[in-house]
Chains A and B, each alone.
Chain A
Amino acid sequence: MADITSLEDAISGLIRDGDTVAMEGFTHLIPFAAGHQVIRSGKKGLTAIRLTPDLIYDQLIGMNCVGKLIFSWGGNPGVGSLHRFRDAVQQGWPAPLKIEEHSHADLANAYVAGASGLPFAVLRGYAGCDLPKVNPVIKKITCPFTGEELSAVPSLRPDVTVIHAQQADRQGNIMIWGITGVQKEAVLAAKRVIVTVEEVIDEFDARANAVLLPHWVIDAVCLEPGGSYPSYAMGYYERENDFYKSWDSISRDREVFKAWMRRHVLNTNNFFEFTRSVSAAKNKEDLHG
């Protein structure tokens, strides 16, 4: 049963140090508000799963919340590298980061298996690819019917999945549209679920096959308008591509990064204050400060 609650309470009550946490959203609906609250609450030693770590995990890694990363594409989309992720892998800063690396198809299948209550997923892939040499959980399996050699990977069962969606109703049912990535599978694979939403409304205007998640698979629903900024929420606001571009210089240097995180995330109480802090800096053309 979903409680409609504050994000602060949801994060402190549902995520524990050392948990395996999936914060999903494929370019669209990335749960930045929740990511920031994880940083503010000082969570440590998380195993963080995400197909595309994006800026949200760059921030979590740079703030030393993550001990291990399970991922399939670690870049700043359309811009270049994730500098905090790279620094952690190449230089061990702020702490050594264990990585478990897959492909998108593999992780997507692994969430499906998790949501389906199966121990592993099967896919056609990885032949001639070096990933199985560096990731021992990618195994070969022979089809019992045709003899074809395929790849098997363990299912993903996060302790906690966190997503951002457009709408909840007053019972805590969730509606989400546009690019929906792996969110449905990541929610149904998880033991506990936190959903932040743009809006809480009385009744959905939904066709029968819209993507709905019922309140009884969700533990906490938190109203966080703008909560996926600088990614986007279809129907609400667009992706701020400029923020992704400026992140390149904010994140490149350790001290600049730390100062930025202190000023805009640690020294603000919530995401609303964060967005005000960033837009005030932007108006002064001082986004890096």
Chain B
Amino acid sequence: MAEGGWSSDEMMTVAAARMLKNGAVCFVGIGLPSAAANLARATHAPDVVLIYESGTIGAKPYVLPLSIGDGELAETADIVVSTPEIFRYWLQGGRVDIGFLGAAQLDRFCNLNTTVIGDYAGPKVRLPGAGGAPEIATSAGEVLVVLRQSQRTFVDELSFVTSAGHGSGGNWRAETGLPGMGPTAVITDIGILRPDAESRELILTEIHPGFTVADAKKSTGWPLQVAEFCVETLPPSAAELTSLRELNKRSAHAHVGY
């Protein structure tokens, strides 16, 4: 718990939620992205349209789903479509404004790894794999990434690129013919990073209260660049914290274990 009476995870989720404009159509990954997107819906963005890859469009879950296809998502959705339809018409068809992703690791150009740590044929750690992420990263209008920042997650070189961010940097996406803008922000428990306008390398643009630029550098596996005007993130408001804690509380209650 930081000085202000909130945890760094809470700051991360609040900061990520703020990125979603009301009314945006958002393709949401499970876990941290889903928590942030539903916090946005409970606070400043009641009309955000949440799409989950199970084919639920306009899902309005009261509790955070444990899986991408929980019954709650289907029951509260405006429409439920098949898996081929969600990827072909809605995502590849260009209907999604924002792809909201997590990852196990990213590099300085915000390429994402969710496949393996180590060698593919003889991996040190076998991760779940791609799921819907490669095409979300390709076709969503823009991509937001949320994950905790450390030397283990912010790496100099990825073992495996599962989903392309800005590739090798610069104009790589445009030259490769990818329709979406790619990652526009990475929200972590320490701060917010955004790609440089030219090089597309992630630079630290905001630092959360209670952390220093040195903390961010120490938690990054490459020499982290810092924006000329790196500002402190606005702390969570009482309303944001209350909404987030209520959401987490009823979700924990709904998924209570043995």
Q: Which residues of A contact B (CB under 8 A)?
A: 26-28, 51-52, 71-75, 77-79, 81-82, 85-86, 89-90, 101-105, 108-109, 111-112, 123-131, 134, 148-149, 178-182, 184-185, 232, 234, 238-239, 241-242, 244-246, 282, 285, 287
Contacts and interface: CB of A to CB of B under 8 A. Distances in A.
B123 A89 contact: yes
Given A108-B83, A109-B88, A124-B135, A131 B130 contact: yes
A28 B258 CA distance: 22
B134 A180 contact: no
Contacts of B221: none
Given A129-B162, A179-B80, 7 more contacts: A104-B131, A124-B92, A127-B176, A130-B161, A131-B162, A148-B177, A178-B71
Contacts of B133: 103
A182 to B, nearest CB: 5
Contact of A77 (B30, B82, B130, B163): B30
Interface stretch (B60-68, B210-218, B223-231, B242-250): B60-68
Contacts of A125: 92, 134-135, 138-139
Q: Per DSSP, are chain B's interface residues mostly helix, strand or loop, or mixed?
A: loop
**Pairs A-B, 8 closest by C-beta atoms:** A27-B69, A128-B164, A75-B128, A77-B67, A78-B66, A73-B131, A105-B87, A105-B135
B34 to A, nearest CB: 10
Interface stretch (B40-48, B49-57, B232-240): B49-57
Contacts, number: 185
A103 B177 contact: no
Given A26-B54, A179-B80, A103 B160 contact: no
Given A51-B83, A72-B130, A179-B55, A127 B177 contact: yes
Interface string B121-162: 111001111111111001100000000000000000000111
B255 interface: yes
A133 to B, nearest CB: 8
Contacts of B92: 105, 123-125
Interface residues of B, number: 57
Interface of B: 30-31, 53-56, 65-71, 73-75, 80, 82-84, 87-88, 91-92, 111, 115, 120-123, 126-135, 138-139, 160-164, 167, 172, 176-179, 255-258
A71 B129 CA distance: 9
A130 B157 CA distance: 13
Contacts of B53: 104
29 contacts: A26-B83, A28-B71, A51-B83, A73-B130, A74-B128, A77-B66, A77-B69, A82-B128, A89-B123, A103-B132, A103-B133, A103-B135, A104-B131, A105-B91, A105-B92, A108-B87, A123-B88, A123-B135, A125-B92, A125-B135, A129-B164, A131-B162, A178-B74, A180-B82, A181-B54, A181-B69, A181-B82, A242-B257, A246-B257
A115 to B, nearest CB: 9
